[in-house]
């Protein structure tokens, strides 16, 4: 075959009922069924249920899909907004712009929640398809490729990112396609292959910066391997061989294409992070402290089944966000078997790739059993630390554990090589070996730290939000966990008015400085059931007037988010200072009136 059979016209000269076509069709249908199983919790109502835990990042991402579409509909580029961090707003580059744009047709017809669900399902399906295509090119075995597709699309890390509601981290399907064509370019250095490699590298980087960097690492590794082989050639062959030069030119062409695709979005993203009014900012110190104090990867998590996390955000902060770096014992054992079997020459490069990505996933320092390993009073540094100092791209990485996606892809291909090797031994092994895919899927969904089944966040905004008149809206309570507060953005999909909150940010400065909102915070944290006997009425009136002058028009109290005592105190205070407009079992709405 010349090129991946399922991506080219290899079989075009054969009838559509040919066995090869049928096997591909069956395999792809099975991958699609797995997508439906993963998304089963939202299938009954995909327009009002969003995949992921409601206390995590789901609504931040659904909001982003809506905001990107709304900006385009108004003829504006989605690079800044006044809808968040009212009254100032600021520069914003939505982290999942790529999928938001891809899913625009779905959003136009079915809305932002359906678009978000469609993007997640598409990317999980693309993960299966991409790994299937890559493994088929390596083994030329349909059922072996199917095992690779199943293993990669159900990688525990990806399942956990669906649970977290981080849709851009699920966009790992472009990566195996980039690896596929990089491999093709290395083996057959033609312009076509190089352009395809560059295009898919660009798409991988647009979908997720981490995976784009991973594709770049694969490209460098292939060039290094070609150089090593060239140096080991006899001199007479080396003088006559132009393979390395041709491959270098071809990869360079692919790199130019990649740069053209990536340049503008990356510049816009970096500019938004560095802007003075950036709504999301990430300076080098913040990234570094996040990496070593917040996002460290315990080596044990790579092979520890069951609910074991590093870091454990539930224990540390009471959040439902989970970090899963588990690789799967079944895949690791298979990889160890392959590397010592007759398939070792074929598997050696993939095993090296697995080791390299796994080393990067551990992060800058060796962290084992809940603590950094020390030698002579200092932490043990790892290759990631050196790369961070030498290569600027690594200084922007705060989640080293995402490199496990590269490890998972290498393990998936090794699993395909194992199935192909066993299939060649006997007819019985040929029939039984695909069962490895079933084992891997069951381990990922039931035996790994990933949560299964994946829950959903239900969209149930009170109807009163649609009737609010123009003006900023303040949702209460103010004292909510940062991630949980993201569900307030779901209400903005209905009322479409500015809110003072940002994306995963604490209180805006003016809320802490305004006398009115400071009193609300104090009442929420009060430990007694009554109001203070003396209230600073003059300061409160000044604070309320400031809110009005800035453009705030409504305060909405979420009754279900308060304890009974909190609700009593806050409601009595607001009844004394604002004008009640609406009251039901879920919310109580107040209006700010123009000062006389």
Q: Which residue in 30, 33, 3 sits closest to 146, CA to CA? A: 30
pLDDT, one tens digit per residue, over 124-178 is: 999 999 999 999 999 999 999 999 999 999 999 999 999 999 999 999 999 999 9
pLDDT at 286 over 60: yes
The rounded distance, in Å, linking the Cα atoms of 296 and 368 is 10
Beta-bridge partner residues of 555: 474, 590
In the numeric block, which tokens belong to residue 191? 């312009």
Q: Is 92 helix (H, G, I), strand (E, B) or coil?
A: coil
User: If pLDDT is split at 50, 70 and 90, which confidence band does 47 have?
Assistant: very high
H or E stretch covering 4: none
User: If pLDDT is split at 50, 70 and 90, which confidence band does 180 have?
Assistant: very high
pLDDT, one tens digit per residue, over 519-563 is: 999 999 887 767 777 788 899 999 999 999 999 999 999 999 999
pLDDT, one tens digit per residue, over 462-495 is: 999 999 999 999 999 998 888 888 888 999 999 9
pLDDT, one tens digit per residue, over 302-340 is: 999 998 887 777 777 777 889 999 999 999 999 999 999
pLDDT at 1 over 70: no
pLDDT at 256 over 80: no
pLDDT, one tens digit per residue, over 342-351 is: 899 999 999 9
Within 10 angstroms of residue 506's Cβ, the number of other Cβ atoms is 11
Q: What is the mean pLDDT of residues 409-423?
A: 96
pLDDT at 421 over 60: yes
Which of 35-49, 299-313, 402-416, 564-578 bottoms out in mean pLDDT, i.e. has the lowest? 299-313
H or E stretch covering 463: none
The rounded distance, in Å, linking the Cα atoms of 77 and 72 is 6
HSE of 390 in the Cβ direction (CA atoms, 13 Å)? Answer: 6
pLDDT of the residue at 320: 84
Q: What is the mean pLDDT of residues 292-305?
A: 89
pLDDT of the residue at 230: 62
- Higher-scoring residue by pLDDT: 516, 243: 516
């Amino acid at each position: 075959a010349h090129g991946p059979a399922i991506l080219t016209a290899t079989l075009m000269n054969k009838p559509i009922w040919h066995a090869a076509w049928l096997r591909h069709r069956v395999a792809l249908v099975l991958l699609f069924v797995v997508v439906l199983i993963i998304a089963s919790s939202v299938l009954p109502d995909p327009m009002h249920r969003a995949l992921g835990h409601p206390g995590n990042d789901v609504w931040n991402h659904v909001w982003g899909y809506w905001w990107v579409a709304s900006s385009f509909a108004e003829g504006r580029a989605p690079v800044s907004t006044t809808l968040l961090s009212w009254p100032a707003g600021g520069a914003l580059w939505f982290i999942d712009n790529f999928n938001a744009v891809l899913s625009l047709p779905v959003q136009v017809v079915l809305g932002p929640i359906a678009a978000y669900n469609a993007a997640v399902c598409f990317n999980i399906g693309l993960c299966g398809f991409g790994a299937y295509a890559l493994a088929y090119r390596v083994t030329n075995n349909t059922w072996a490729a199917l095992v690779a597709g199943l293993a990669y699309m159900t990688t525990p890390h990806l399942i956990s990112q669906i649970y977290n509601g981080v849709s851009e981290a699920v966009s790992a399907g472009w990566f195996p396609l980039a690896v596929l064509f990089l491999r093709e370019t290395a083996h057959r250095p033609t312009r076509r292959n190089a352009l395809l490699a560059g295009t898919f590298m660009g798409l991988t980087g647009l979908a997720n910066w981490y995976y784009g960097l991973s594709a770049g690492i694969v490209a460098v590794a292939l060039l290094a391997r070609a150089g090593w082989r060239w140096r080991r050639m006899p001199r007479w062959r080396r003088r006559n061989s132009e393979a390395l030069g041709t491959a270098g030119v071809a990869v360079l062409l692919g790199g130019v294409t990649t740069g053209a695709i990536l340049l503008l979005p990356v510049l816009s993203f970096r500019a938004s992070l560095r802007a003075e009014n950036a709504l999301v900012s990430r300076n080098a110190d913040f990234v570094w402290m996040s990496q070593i104090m917040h996002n460290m990867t315990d080596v044990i998590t790579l092979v520890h089944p069951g609910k074991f996390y590093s870091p454990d955000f539930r224990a540390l902060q009471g959040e439902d966000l989970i970090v899963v770096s588990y690789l799967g014992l079944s895949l690791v054992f298979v990889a160890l078997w392959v590397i010592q079997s007759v398939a070792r020459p074929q598997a050696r490069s993939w095993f090296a790739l697995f080791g390299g990505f796994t080393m990067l996933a551990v992060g800058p320092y060796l962290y084992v059993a809940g603590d950094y390993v020390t030698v002579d009073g200092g932490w043990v540094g790892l290759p990631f630390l050196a790369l961070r100092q030498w290569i600027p791209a690594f200084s922007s990485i705060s989640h080293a554990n995402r490199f496990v996606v590269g490890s998972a892809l290498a393990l998936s291909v090794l699993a395909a090589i194992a199935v192909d090797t066993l299939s060649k031994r006997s007819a019985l092994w040929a029939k039984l070996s695909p069962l490895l895919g079933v084992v891997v899927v069951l381990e990922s969904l039931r035996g790994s730290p990933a949560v299964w089944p994946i829950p959903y966040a239900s969209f149930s905004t009170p109807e009163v939000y649609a009737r609010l008149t123009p003006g900023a809206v303040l949702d209460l309570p103010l004292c909510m966990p940062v991630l949980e507060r993201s569900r307030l953005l779901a209400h903005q999909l209905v009322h479409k008015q500015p809110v003072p909150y940002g994306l995963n940010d604490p209180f805006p400065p003016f809320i802490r400085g305004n006398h009115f909102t400071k009193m609300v915070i104090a009442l929420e944290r009060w430990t007694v059931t009554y109001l203070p006997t003396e209230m600073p009425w003059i300061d409160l009136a000044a604070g309320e007037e400031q809110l009005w002058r800035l453009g705030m028009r409504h305060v909405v109290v979420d009754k279900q988010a308060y304890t009974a005592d909190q609700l009593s105190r806050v409601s009595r205070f607001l009844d004394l200072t604002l004008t009640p407009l609406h009251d039901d079992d879920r919310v109580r709405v107040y209006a700010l009136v123009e000062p006389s």
